[in-house]
Amino acid sequence: MCGIVGVVGSKNATDILIQGLQKLEYRGYDSAGIFVADKNGNQNLVKAVGRISALQEKIGIEVNGSSGIGHTRWATHGKPSEVNAHPHVSASFRFVLVHNGVIENFKELKEKYLASDKFVGETDTEIVVHLIGKLIEEENLSVVEGFQKALKLIEGSFAFALMDKKNPEVIYVAKNKSPLLIGLGDGYNMVCSDAMAMIRETNRFLEIHDGEMVIVRKDAVEIIDTDGVTRKREPYIAKLDLSDIGKGTYPYYMLKEIDEQPAVMRKIMQEYMSEDSPHQMKVDQEILEAVVKADRIYIIAAGTSSHAGWAAKAFFEQMTQTPVEVCLSSEFGYNIPLLSQNPLFIYISQSGETADSRQVLVKMKELGCKALTITNVPGSTLSREADYTLLLHASPEIAVASTKAYTAQIAVMAVLAKAVGEYIENSTARSFNLIKELSLVANAIEALLTEKELIEQKVAKHLQDTRNAFYIGRGADYYASMEAALKLKEISYIQCEGFAAGELKHGTIALIEEGTPVQALISNQEIASHTRGNVMEVVSRGAKVLTIVSQDCAQADDDLVVQTVHPFLTCIAMVVPTQLVAYYATLQRGLDVDKPRNLAKSVTVE
């Protein structure tokens, strides 16, 4: 989703801004822009619709300076266009602003304070920069006073970076709900919505808390809290490796991340294995106690992360002896069910920034409910605001379509379930050797990764020219089907449903016609014959079927065979071939695998 970068005091602000915006491309955007200035009055604003490369083409040698702000926009208010792209300017052109988030009362602000102003675009951001300009210029306020006054009038989520053309040696920033950080350089300082944007320049970052304003100069950073008091804060070191965020020799991040999954499984084992016994897991005692005290676990998540929650539900219940509910974060916060007496909330989020999940966390914390975040990003908002965090250790995931984070989320939930089960002396957990089982999962994934050519050929025959498709399965295979279908639709644009195989006949089978592709997932011997029965039902109605089955369920004419793994972990192994199916279907359609249309990696608006 939208990204912010800014720099002050550098020799080459344009270069830093462009490189920063490129690092944020993975988050999803549809237009971009930069404002660059120096103290001699050379000031340029450049915007373009489409990729950063389109913006670069418009940047001439005159666009240089020592400070500036930049933005990638994912359209919310107003279509993707040059006038709607950020940065936006105030009515007098003096102030320049970039913004992430959504201003909820923008219409009221416009009517009440800016009725006579003319606007070039349709964004809420343009209204904010007009408001800031008006307050400062008409009421003769300092920039800090005017910005603070505007912030008091604004409702919604925001990360702002503001510049004053009269004094371009300063960037003023403020945030509420949307992520924003200060990067500390040597003789220059930076602003970014994601540490990844500036990791080439620095690994030292300062957090900004909601409600704070920060004044960033090349040699000083001043944090002012909501009461106007200056705050001191120690920087933290971001543990991000530049090589982790490169594509290496891969054509796409998604393929690299699919291939990394066996290594991620092994990393998770290494991080969570107890030094005392290789069969035991190392999880903080206070987390174990929080789970044990809970009478019900609510897993709150969005998209792929919610599918990981479904995949974990059954084994988590069996090992911890506690009921688990899996809830979509965008629904839960506004439709809160009757809660149990002593719930624990587990937020599963790759990015740790998803606004839908965060709104639940804020509301539930107000009710006094404890929060555990399972995330790939240390220091992310959901991690900071929760009582406890467990990390995925999957290294940065860049492709919009989540792959290694999903499999890591299930593995870390298994780690937690096993650790709690041991703690309460549950026999299922005691007899479950997670390290051995995860090793088998890593081996099964490795074996699948050698089958890429076969999968590519099967996909070419099976999904060519289709507009729709189905994944079907029962039990854990149903949950894996939901994730498999999401993967396929989000990058190949084939409309695909993940369906409970037995439910198909209660309505949806009406959609099956001659040539409809159906992919069946079968990994549970006990119910394999039922799913095979459902396969026959769709074949009889003209469907062409591709079967993905575990070895213990395989028959001679199955299409793809996955090594059998423990039933608790079957979603991990069964989803990997479907990730490759989505990847090759997308390649064969000539689409950009890593940057699907309309999608964002990190969704920071509700």
In terms of CB distance, is 9 or 303 closer to ligand G6P?
A: 303
Tell me if 350 contacts ligand G6P by CB under 6 A.
yes
- Beta strand 204-207 with 67-73 is unpaired
Q: Which one is catalytic: 177, 218, 595, 601?
A: 601
β partners of residue 69? 6, 35
Tell me if 328 contacts ligand G6P by CB under 6 A.
no
Candidates 193, 351, 373, 426: give the one binding ligand G6P (CB under 6 A): 351
Q: Which helix (H) or strand (E) holds 270?
A: helix 261-272
Q: Taking the complex as a whole, how short is the minimal distance between the CB of residue 380 and ligand G6P, in angstroms?
A: 9
Candidates 575, 603, 605, 606: give the one binding ligand G6P (CB under 6 A): 603
Candidates 125, 157, 178, 305: give the one binding ligand G6P (CB under 6 A): 305
The sheet with strand 296-301 has its strands ordered as 324-328, 296-301, 343-349, 370-375, 388-391
Residue list 73-112, contact with ligand G6P (CB under 6 A): none
In terms of CB distance, is 449 or 599 closer to ligand G6P?
A: 599
Q: Can 327 be counted among the known catalytic residues? A: no
Q: Using CB under 6 A, which of the segments 170-178, 350-358, 440-448, 576-584 binds ligand G6P?
A: 350-358
Q: Using CB under 6 A, which of the segments 90-98, 344-352, 430-438, 573-581 binds ligand G6P?
A: 344-352
Nearest to 480 by CA among 573, 580, 412: 573
Candidates 22, 202, 354, 381: give the one binding ligand G6P (CB under 6 A): 354
Candidates 144, 206, 314, 599: give the one binding ligand G6P (CB under 6 A): 599
Q: Using CB under 6 A, which of the segments 97-105, 116-124, 297-305, 468-476 binds ligand G6P?
A: 297-305
Q: Taking the complex as a whole, how short is the minimal distance between the CB of residue 596 and ligand G6P, in angstroms?
A: 8
User: How far apart are the C-alpha atoms of 46 and 69, rounded to whole Å?
Assistant: 11
Candidates 18, 358, 601, 605: give the one binding ligand G6P (CB under 6 A): 601
Tell me if 123 contacts ligand G6P by CB under 6 A.
no
User: How far apart are the C-alpha atoms of 179 and 19, rounded to whole Å?
Assistant: 19
Tell me if 66 contacts ligand G6P by CB under 6 A.
no
In terms of CB distance, is 67 or 602 closer to ligand G6P?
A: 602
β partners of residue 390? 374
Residue whose structure tokens are 């490189």: 19
Q: What are phi and psi of 378, to 5 degrees?
A: -65, 140
User: How far apart are the C-alpha atoms of 72 and 84, rounded to whole Å?
Assistant: 11
Nearest to 221 by CA among 238, 205, 203, 239: 205
User: How far apart are the C-alpha atoms of 299 and 307, rounded to whole Å?
Assistant: 10
Preceding amide of 378 cis, omega within 30:
no
Q: Are 317 and 346 within 8 A, CB to CB?
A: no
Tell me if 304 contacts ligand G6P by CB under 6 A.
yes
- Beta strand 43-49 with 31-37 is antiparallel
Q: Which two tokens stand for residue 262?
A: 């066996």
Q: Can 2 be counted among the known catalytic residues? A: yes
Q: Are 593 and 254 within 8 A, CB to CB?
A: yes
Contacts 24+ apart (CB under 8 A), 54-59: 55/18, 55/21, 56/18, 59/14, 59/18, 59/34
Candidates 146, 179, 303, 309: give the one binding ligand G6P (CB under 6 A): 303
Q: Using CB under 6 A, which of the segments 45-53, 64-72, 317-325, 346-354 binds ligand G6P?
A: 346-354
Q: Are 369 and 340 within 8 A, CB to CB?
A: no
In terms of CB distance, is 267 or 404 closer to ligand G6P?
A: 404
Residue list 177-196, contact with ligand G6P (CB under 6 A): none
Tell me if 349 contacts ligand G6P by CB under 6 A.
yes
Candidates 64, 148, 402, 524: give the one binding ligand G6P (CB under 6 A): 402
In the bound state, the residue with its beta carbon closest to ligand G6P is: 303
Q: Which residues of 486-500 are buried (b: 16+ CB within 10 A; e: fewer)?
A: bbbbbbbbbebbbbb
Tell me if 400 contacts ligand G6P by CB under 6 A.
yes
Q: Taking the complex as a whole, how short is the minimal distance between the CB of residue 310 and ligand G6P, in angstroms?
A: 13
Candidates 193, 202, 357, 381: give the one binding ligand G6P (CB under 6 A): 357
Q: H-type helices in 90-185, by residue range?
A: 106-113, 124-138, 143-153
**Which DSSP category does 197 fall into?**
G
Give how many residues touch ligand G6P by CB under 6 A. Answer: 15
Q: Taking the complex as a whole, how short is the minimal distance between the CB of residue 303 and ligand G6P, in angstroms?
A: 3
Q: Taking the complex as a whole, how short is the minimal distance between the CB of residue 603 and ligand G6P, in angstroms?
A: 5
Q: Taking the complex as a whole, how short is the minimal distance between the CB of residue 488 and ligand G6P, in angstroms?
A: 13
Fill in the per-residue mask, 250 to 289: x = in contact with ligand G6P (CB under 6 A), - = not in contact.
----------------------------------------
Q: Where are the beta strands (DSSP E) in 337-490?
A: 343-349, 370-375, 388-391, 468-473
Q: Using CB under 6 A, which of the segments 159-167, 279-287, 343-351, 564-572 binds ligand G6P?
A: 343-351
Q: Taking the complex as a whole, how short is the minimal distance between the CB of residue 69 and ligand G6P, in angstroms?
A: 25
Q: What angle do CA 605, 377, 415 make, to 5 degrees?
A: 115
Q: Which one is catalytic: 2, 192, 327, 571?
A: 2
User: How far apart are the C-alpha atoms of 175 and 181, rounded to whole Å?
Assistant: 9
Residues tagged active-site? 2, 601
Interacting residue ranges for ligand G6P, rule: CB under 6 A:
302-305, 349-351, 354, 357, 400, 402, 599, 601-603
